[in-house]
Each structure stands twice: as structure tokens, then as C-alpha cells.
Amino acid sequence: MFNYKEIMQQGLWQNNPGLVQLLGLCPLLATSSTLTNALGLGLATMLVLMSTNLMVSLIRHQVPNEIRIPVFVMVIAAVVTAIEQLMHAYTYALYQSLGIFIPLIVTNCIVIGRAEAFASKNAVLPAIVDGLMMGLGFTAVLASLGAVREVLGQGTLFDGADALLGSWATVLRVELYQSDSHFLLAILPPGAFMVLGCLIAAKNAIDLRHKKRRQQVKTITRARVTHSAGAETATGGN
């Protein structure tokens, strides 16, 4: 029985591709200037991850070990091409605004990384779940980065959401504040690096707090035990 909860934790938090592995930085930084673009690329990457993990897992016994990487890359390229054609057909505006970064999913290290590290060694169902969770983790980071940058740089949220979700989505657009002089840095690449740095710092701070709390609980239980190792060293110091 496979531990799906573990896969979920790894993908969404402990081994998050955006915040911990720092993989796929190029699309992460280039397409996260608005929430819509970020969500679009995140979802596309997630679809690619699930499909490639599925296929790689299916063929894992047939592929000779020596040429596995070229085979994986060709599987990934085929899937990405299919996704690109689908986006071209159904979300044309988004396809245009994401541009070169859709075909570039092929070179995204997360995809080849998961194929090599997980899918090529595990059964089909865990591989799909892993792809889904890694993709969700990546999308979450991308979307929060996009949201922060869009709010700072344009004062809006979900600007152009209709390009991703269809014409009804124009109602999603929120105008948070109106300003003549936008904070251009947030939209420019250096802003992406800074916001990503803040996100990573926030994640580390949360982890640290959890760790401290767990340690505190431990020391309390130990203090109740008489003649514990800690008490002895404390008295021995005098």
C-alpha cells in the first residue's frame, strides 16, 4: 500500500518544486506578472506532469536503463506539444500572452526530474498522484507569486481572467486600488526574484516555528521524569 499522504505532503509543502527544489525558475519568474498568466502556466505544467508521469510509469519496465533520459524527453516533448495545441485551440488569448513559455515546459526541470526520480521507479497510480501534487505545489507558488506581483504592480487581481476561463470570468476582476504611478519593479523580473525570496523566507519561518513547537512539547515531557539525563548534567555542572 502506497503512502499517498506522504506524496501529498512532499509535493505541496516539504519538497515543493517552487519553494524548496527551486526548479523551473525560468517560467516561474517570467510568467508570474499576473495571476491569470501564472494560473494558466501552472495548470498546463500540472497537466504535463500528470501525463508524463503516467506514461513514464507505464513504460518503465520496457525502457533500457542506458537510454532512459532521451526516451523520457521524447515522451515529455510529445505531451507538451499536445498541450500547446490544445491551448492554441481553446485558450487562444492565454496562448498568445504566455508565448514561448508553453513549449518551454519541455525543458522544465520539474517534469524530467519527477519522471526520473519518481515515475520511473513507481507504479502508475502513485506516479499520477505524485504528478498531480507536484503540479499543484508548483501552481500554488506560481499563483501566489502572480497575485502579489499583480496587486503591487497593477493594483488588480484576475486581470484578463477571461483569457483562461472564458468570457464569464470578467466578473472575477477585482480592482484593489487606482494609481497613476504603478510600482513597476513588481512587474519587472527583479521584483519576481524579491517576491520569491520573501515567499521562501515565509515558508522557512513557518517550518522553524513548527519545529520549535515540537521541541518544546518534548522538553516538557522530559522535565516530568525525575533523575533524567538532563537533570544530572545540570547538577553536575556545579
Partner 1 sequence: MSFRIASSPHNHSQQHTSILMRKVALACIPGIAAQCYFFGYGVLIQLLLAVITAWASEALILHWRGKPVLIRLKDHSALLTAVLLAVAIPPFAPWWIIVLGTAFAIIVVKQLYGGLGHNLFNPAMAAYVLLLISFPQQMTSWLPPQSLQAQQQHLLDPVCTVFTDFSCAGYSLTQQKTDVDGMTMATPLDTLKTDLAAGRTVSESHQHKIFAAIGGIGWNWVNLAFLAGGLWLLQQKIIQWRIPLALLGSLALCSLLAYLIDADRNGSPLFHLFSGGTMLAAFFIATDPVSASTTERGRLVYGALIGLLIFVIRRFGGYPDAVAFAVMLANLAVPLIDYYTRPRTYGHRPKGAH
The binding site for partner 1 (CB under 8 A) comprises 181, 183-185, 188, 194
Would you say the C-alpha torsion 78, 84, 89, 91 has a positive or negative sign? positive
**DSSP per position, 76-116:** HHHHHHHHHHHHHHH-HHHHHHHGGGTGGGGG-HHHHHHHH
The nearer residue to partner 1, 184 or 231, going by C-beta atoms, is 184
Least separation in angstroms between residue 192's CB and partner 1 is 14
Nearer to partner 1, 49 or 192 (CB): 192
Q: How far apart are CA 148 and CA 41, in angstroms?
A: 16
In whole angstroms, the minimum distance from the beta carbon of 218 to partner 1 comes to 24
Q: Which is nearer to partner 1, 182 or 222 (CB)?
A: 182
Instruction: For partner 1, give the closer residue by CB, 90 or 193.
Output: 193
Do residues 118 and 130 make contact, with C-beta atoms less than 8 angstroms apart?
yes
Helix (H, G, I), strand (E, B) or coil at 206: helix
In angstroms, what is the minimal distance from the CB of 184 to partner 1?
Answer: 5
Closest distance of CB 197 from partner 1, Å: 9
